[in-house]
Structure 1
Amino acid sequence: MYVLAANNIHKYFREPTEFHVLKGVSFSIEKGKFVSITGKSGSGKSTLLYLLSTMDTDFEGSIQINGEELKGKSNRWLADFRNQHIGFVFQFHYLLPEFSALRNVMLPGLKRSIHSSEEVEHKAYELLKLLDVGEQAGKRASLLSGGQQQRVAIARALINDPIIVMGDEPTGNLDSRNAAIVFDLFQQLASERGQTMLMVTHDDEFAEKSDRIIHLADGRIVPNES
């Protein structure tokens, strides 16, 4: 069974004039795979990610995650689905600066409200240790280095055991050393924990090390590079 399946996705921007951004995009991703979406600026890669992440619901076609059709669902249903099943890592970490690293990781788990705060705290700390920032757990997010902040953001993305983790240029704000560390973490999560990863990137070196590249050009997947 595929974790994610996109079938014949079309996306239009209506303003200021109609523009056909995605043109019949179809692909599927198996569990535990590390997949990169690449393409030049304007190719549609970030637009595609926002559709797949349910942040944008205005499209034609079908998107299924874990066998669940997302097209036609209400915003409230999608918000709950996102919190339960999708983890996000962005170019900027979006941590709450005055909260500790530990508290930042805990927040999505507390929002889900299916485990006690003690259980969420324990799991958050274990994730921070896994990502080699356990010793930073009590430190305010604003006092962490850029690489540490991004690792905390990855831990936050994992707190609810998502079916898939999606990223939009997750190494875009990092220097080459920290970018390599983050890539290695993604690879470890995929190979050792069976975590499915889908990352939009402009970094060719990052993409080439992933299990699979989905390359977009002018809103279509380029067959020989997918």
Structure 2
Amino acid sequence: MNVLEVANLNKYFNEPVRNQVLKNVGFQVERGEFVAITGKSGCGKSTLLYLLSTMDTDFEGSIMIDGEQMKGKTNRWLAAFRNRHIGFVFQFHYLLPEFTSLENVMLPARKLGEYPVGEIEQRAMQLLKLLNVDGQALKRAGLLSGGQQQRVAISRALINDPLIVMGDEPTGNLDSANGATVFGLFKELAIERKQTVLVVTHDEDFARRADRRIYMADGSILDA
């Protein structure tokens, strides 16, 4: 079953001049598939990921997630859909520095409002432990190392048990050991939890070990 279907996707930037950055992009991703998106800097892979995550809504074409068409939806609808179904891991963590690690991880689930606070806290602690940062749970995020912050950010992306986990260079600021831990976690999510993982990466080893690689060049997909 396809959880993501992209068809005839085009994207333009209009400043300083009109420039087409994605050209008739189309592909499908199945539930539980672990896909790496690769290509040289400037090829459009991060732009594609932001469209797929629904954080950028200015595009031509079709993006279907779990049978829902993303085109034409209101920002409020998209925000609710994104919080429930998409976990996003940025290259930079975007944690709230004055909040503890635990509070940062709990935020999306508290916003979703489906579970009592005590259960959310328990789930958050389990994720922090999974990523070996449970010892930093009560420390303010601004006091953590870069690697610790990124692992907290990954925990936050997983708190609502999303249908799709998307990452933009999620291991880019991690050493090889932490990077391997993150890869192993993503692989586990795909195999054991049937969560779809879609990651933009420059890491050749990471991309090679994914289930499938989508290779981009000059705004187009050359190989999927």
* Band of TM-score, shorter chain: over 0.9
**Correspondence for 1:158:** 158
**Correspondence for 2:61:** 61
Give runs of aligned pairs for residues 81-120 of structure 1, distance below 5 A.
81-120=81-120
Q: Which runs of 5+ in 2 are unaligned?
A: none
* CA distance in 1 between partners of 2:14 and 2:96 (Å): 34
**TM-score (norm: length of structure 2):** 0.95
Give runs of aligned pairs for residues 10-89 of structure 1, distance below 5 A.
10-89=10-89
Cα deviation digits, residues 125-167 of structure 1 (max 9, x gap):
1222222322322222233333222221111001111110111
Q: Which amino acid aligns with 1:195?
A: Q
**Correspondence for 1:201:** 201
For residue 78 of structure 1, report the CA deviation from its aligned partner: 0.7
* CA distance in 1 between partners of 2:153 and 2:15 (Å): 33
Q: Which amino acid aligns with 2:201?
A: T
**Correspondence for 1:177:** 177
**TM-score (norm: length of structure 1):** 0.94
* CA distance in 2 between partners of 1:51 and 1:111 (Å): 22
**Secondary structure at 2:26's aligned position in 1?**
strand
**Correspondence for 1:136:** 136
Q: Which amino acid aligns with 2:130?
A: L
RMSD of the TM alignment (CA)? 1.3
Q: Which amino acid aligns with 2:98?
A: E
For residue 193 of structure 1, report the CA deviation from its aligned partner: 2.0
* CA distance in 1 between partners of 2:193 and 2:70 (Å): 26
Q: Which amino acid aligns with 1:220?
A: S
Bigger mean CA offset, 4-13 vs 135-144: 135-144
**Correspondence for 1:149:** 149
1:191 aligned onto 2:191? yes
Aligned partners of 2:147 and 2:173 also within 8 Å: no
Bigger mean CA offset, 1-10 vs 143-152: 143-152
For residue 216 of structure 1, report the CA deviation from its aligned partner: 0.5
**Correspondence for 1:216:** 216
* CA distance in 1 between partners of 2:156 and 2:101 (Å): 9
| Count of residues paired in the alignment | 224
For residue 42 of structure 1, report the CA deviation from its aligned partner: 1.3
**Secondary structure at 1:222's aligned position in 2?**
strand
* CA distance in 1 between partners of 2:173 and 2:130 (Å): 22
* CA distance in 1 between partners of 2:126 and 2:31 (Å): 23
* CA distance in 2 between partners of 1:117 and 1:38 (Å): 39
Bigger mean CA offset, 129-138 vs 169-178: 129-138
Q: Which runs of 5+ in 1 are unaligned?
A: none
* CA distance in 2 between partners of 1:15 and 1:131 (Å): 40
Percent of matched pairs sharing the same residue:
68
